[in-house]
Amino acid sequence: MALPIACIACTVTREEVFREPRDFCEKKSKECKSLLHRKFFYLFTCEYCFSHYVTLFFLLITRYHLLYDNWRGYLIAFFAIVWIANIYMSLFGFVRVGMKKERIEAKIKEVELEKCDDNTGDNQEMINKDEKEIK
């Protein structure tokens, strides 16, 4: 259950699809006068905070609990799932940064190769020109 929670929390708080609502919530979280309103809007900009509410929603609809069949089981499940979901989100962030780094390094190498090809072409033209002058 932690994987879908992590997926939902990451998607809402990071991805481009939700940029406009997230920007609106970020603005409201800074500008609202009421502390309660600021905290409510901040919830949609922080993946850690948002994962708690998504977990609570999932626990309510699935009635999932750990170790105990009463409220203690729900409490243990709540914190365990949030913890695992945040590990998943951290791993996703780590992989995402690694992929971005590789993409940037590939572009740098591509640009260097193009520059090298351009310089080789210029040098070849100069050699051909010098050969014509010698003849």
Question: Does residue 82 fall inside a structural domain?
Answer: yes
Question: Does residue 59 fall inside a structural domain?
Answer: yes
pTM score, two decimals? 0.66
Question: Does residue 74 fall inside a structural domain?
Answer: yes
Question: Does residue 133 fall inside a structural domain?
Answer: no
* Tally of structural domains, the chain: 1
> What is the residue whose two structure tokens read 């640009």?
111
Supply the range of the domain harboring residue 33. 2-97
Has residue 120 got a pLDDT over 80?
no
User: What's the pLDDT tens digit per position in 38-64?
Assistant: 988 888 888 888 899 999 999 999 998
Question: Does residue 13 fall inside a structural domain?
Answer: yes
Question: Does residue 129 fall inside a structural domain?
Answer: no
Question: Does residue 41 fall inside a structural domain?
Answer: yes
Residue 55 dihedral angles phi and psi, to the nearest 5°: -60, -45
Question: Does residue 131 fall inside a structural domain?
Answer: no
